[in-house]
């Protein structure tokens, strides 16, 4: 069966735009031409939505009928969820649900969720059996949704009352920084962004970075901690500023970067001023996106089982909905260090 992603790719729009059109969600305007293209493409690809199951009129206490529909909320701006990490997690979710006879009926982003009409659509109008949340949402909105959605599964969500799936970000980051230390580095910087807490010092990849330094009796240097806000452009600009303004003998000799795309941007900034990777500054990223093995030099990174995380989230959702699991479990999938030339000297 065709998926929302298939339609989005063929029309050239975002998955959430397709979701809004197919679910008659008017919280954001979609122009008539685009809407028509989406509807025609959905029909051409054989996409079918299930009708909503409603409670009998006047019977507010009746148990809602099973709809075999699920929704997804992703905790980042819409322009970012096409990033390789999130797109593969979403692909795994959609395929995992389809394999079990469920339909992914909508995807909403963090920013969209702050619109009261979108919250209304999710809580009262969507008629979904369950919801998958990727990386958490604002606490008041989350608590409101939990009261109305029968089952919620989290992808890297910090809530012991719901089933969750992830990989151990702290342990993985700690292992990557240990590798840099083993290569002889003691001046190690960090590039990342704020977590849901709004504090970079509480973000899991930063915590792993910090733990590895402290266990080697290295005190993190605040001026080498760069908050790029998860943006490729910010990573490039912050690194450019650092290598142009700081004397070379005072620069870090290595950076742990919380995503491959930010690492690649930072590497570009380093090489543009004539510095060499890894001889002058080594790099270690996170995600193992496809392009990481083809950068110059190839980027050392943490392999994250992105697609499998999505599939596992879909599996947990269906298992809970169908009564085969009763207690919230925490599934941690294995990570793997991919050691390449960006972090190893000849």
Task: For residue 189, list its beta bridge partners.
Answer: 255
Residue 1: count of CB within 10 angstroms of its CB: 10
- List b or e across 221-243, with b for residues whose CB sees 16 or more CB atoms inside 10 angstroms: eeebbbbbebbbebbbbbbbebb
Find out whether 185 and 254 touch, Cβ atoms under 8 Å.
Answer: yes
Place of tokens 């054989």: 46
pLDDT tens for the chain, 346 residues: list them. Answer: 577 778 888 888 887 788 778 766 665 677 777 887 888 888 778 775 543 333 332 334 444 447 888 999 998 765 554 577 888 999 999 999 999 999 998 888 878 888 888 887 777 766 888 999 998 788 888 888 888 887 999 999 988 999 999 999 999 999 999 999 999 999 999 999 987 667 888 899 999 999 999 999 999 999 999 999 989 999 999 999 999 999 999 999 999 999 999 999 999 999 999 999 999 999 999 999 999 999 999 999 999 999 999 999 999 999 999 888 888 899 999 999 999 999 998 6
Distance CA 159, CA 75 (A): 15
Could you give the count of Cα atoms lying within 13 Å of 293 in the half-sphere of its Cβ?
8
Topology at the third CATH level for domain 169-303: Rossmann fold (3.40.50)
- CATH 3.40.50.2300 maps onto the chain at 4-53+66-167+307-332, 169-303
Q: Does domain 4-53+66-167+307-332 have CATH number 3.40.50.2300?
A: yes
């Amino acid at each position: 069966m065709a998926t929302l992603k298939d339609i989005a790719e063929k029309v050239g729009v975002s998955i959430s735009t397709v979701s809004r059109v197919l679910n008659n969600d008017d919280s954001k305007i979609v122009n008539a031409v685009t809407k028509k293209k989406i509807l025609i493409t959905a029909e051409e690809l054989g996409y079918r939505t299930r009708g909503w199951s409603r409670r009998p009129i006047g019977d507010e206490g009746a148990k809602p009928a099973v709809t075999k529909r699920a929704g997804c909320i992703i905790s980042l701006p819409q322009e970012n969820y096409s990033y390789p990490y999130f797109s593969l997690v979403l692909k795994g979710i959609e395929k995992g649900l389809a394999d079990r006879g469920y339909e992914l009926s909508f995807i909403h982003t963090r920013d969209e969720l702050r619109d009261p009409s979108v919250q209304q659509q999710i809580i009262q109008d969507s008629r979904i059996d369950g919801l998958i949340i990727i990386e958490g949402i604002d606490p008041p909105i989350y608590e409101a949704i939990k009261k109305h959605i029968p089952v919620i599964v989290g992808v890297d969500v910090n809530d012991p009352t719901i089933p969750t799936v992830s990989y151990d970000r702290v342990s993985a980051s700690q292992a990557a920084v240990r590798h840099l230390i083993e290569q002889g580095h003691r001046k190690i910087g960090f590039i990342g962004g704020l977590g849901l807490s709004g504090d970079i010092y509480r973000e899991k990849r930063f915590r792993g970075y910090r733990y590895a330094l402290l266990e080697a009796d290295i005190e993190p240097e605040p001026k080498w901690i760069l908050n790029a806000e998860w943006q490729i452009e910010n990573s490039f600009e912050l690194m450019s500023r650092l290598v142009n303004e700081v004397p070379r003998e005072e620069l870090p000799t290595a950076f742990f970067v919380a995503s491959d795309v930010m690492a690649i941007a930072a590497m570009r900034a380093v090489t543009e001023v004539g510095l060499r990777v890894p001889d002058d500054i080594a790099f270690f990223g996170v995600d193992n996106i496809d392009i990481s093995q083809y950068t110059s030099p190839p980027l050392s990174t943490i392999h994250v089982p992105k697609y499998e995380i999505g599939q596992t989230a879909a599996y947990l959702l269906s298992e809970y909905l169908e009564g085969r699991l009763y207690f919230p479990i925490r599934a941690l999938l294995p990570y793997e260090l991919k050691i390449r030339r960006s972090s190893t000297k000849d």
